[in-house]
Amino acid sequence: MPAHTCALPDPDVAVRIHQALKTFGDSGWRWPSGPRTAAKVAVDHVSLNIQRGEIFGVLGPNGSGKSTLIRLISTLLLPDGGDVQVFGHDVVREARRVQTLINRVSVEASFFKKLSPLENLMYGARLYGLGAPEARDGARRILIRLGLEPAVLEQPMEEMSRGMQQKVAIARAFLSSPILLLLDEPTTGLDPRSKREVQTFVRELRDTHDATVLLTTHDMVEAEALCDRVAIIHGGRIVALDTPEALKAAAPRLNGHSPTLEDVFLSLTGAQLVEFVD
C-alpha cells in the first residue's frame, strides 16, 4: 500500500494533492452519430502540499490547468485519478466536510445580478449556516473594509463596475471565515488601488484568521508580493515549485541582470502564453 494512504494526516498540511489527474472530452458515452472528441488532459498527475497558513501561488498560461486544479479542491470536479485532501479530508469521500472548510473566488464574479451586494452576501452567508444578524453585520463590515461605499450596498449588482463586483465576490468568500481560501485570479480587472486593497486584505486574513490561501494569478508582481511559495504549471504539469526568491536564483542571468519572476515564468512555459481558454 502506498505511504500516502496509510499515514495519519499532517495537521500542518492544509492541502495535499497526490498524482491528481483530470481529463475532459471523453465522457465514455456519446450519441451514435455524435462526433468523437479527443480527451484532453487538464491536470496531469499533479502532486503538491500546501502548508497551513501559507499563501501559495499557482502561475500558468491560460489553459494550463490552474482553474481545474482549484475546482478539484473545491469539490466542483471529480478527479479521474490520484487524490486530493483538505486538512486530511478527501474531497470526494468527505466532500461535505471539505466544503465547510473552504470558499472560493472565481475569475468570473458570479452573482444574482438584480440583487444587491448585501442580498447576495446574505444568500452566501446563509448557505454556510450563518444567522441573519451575524451575516448582515459581517457583510457590511467586510464590504466597507474592501472600500465599497455604504450607499452601493443596496444597489443591484448589475449597476456596479467589474472591479466592485469582484470585491463583493471576495467579501462573499471571506464571510464564511474559510480556513482554506481558493482565489482564482481574484484581482483580474481591478484597478491598482483596488488590487492593493485586496492583497492587503488577503494578508490580513491569513494573519488574523489562520487561513491558508491558494491563489492563481497572471500578475507576477502580485505573486511575488503575496505568495510564500509558487508553483508554475504548464500543460497540466507542475514545471517548478519553490519560493519566488529560490525560483529566481535558480534561473540563468539575462544579459547580466538578475531574472524577474516573469522571466522565470516565460522561460518555463514558453513564448506562447495564450493557448486555449481555460
Residues near another protein, by CB under 8 A? 24, 27, 71, 74-78, 80, 96, 99-100, 102, 104, 106, 108, 110-115, 119, 122-124, 126-131, 156, 172
Least distance in Å: CB of 6 to another protein?
27
How deeply is 127 buried, as exposed, middle or buried, from its count of CB atoms within 10 A (0-12, 13-18, 19+)? exposed
Least distance in Å: CB of 84 to another protein?
13
Comparing CB distances to another protein, the nearer of 182 and 231 is 182
Least distance in Å: CB of 255 to another protein?
42
Comparing CB distances to another protein, the nearer of 45 and 97 is 97
The C-alpha atoms of residue 250 and residue 240 are separated, in whole angstroms, by 10
Least distance in Å: CB of 71 to another protein?
7
Total residue count of the chain as it appears in this document: 278
The C-alpha atoms of residue 56 and residue 221 are separated, in whole angstroms, by 14
CB contact at 8 A, 14 and 180: yes
Least distance in Å: CB of 246 to another protein?
33
Comparing CB distances to another protein, the nearer of 108 and 262 is 108
Comparing CB distances to another protein, the nearer of 62 and 100 is 100
Matching residue, cell 481558454: 277
Comparing CB distances to another protein, the nearer of 106 and 269 is 106
CA 239-240-242 angle, to 5 degrees, is 165
The C-alpha atoms of residue 107 and residue 186 are separated, in whole angstroms, by 6
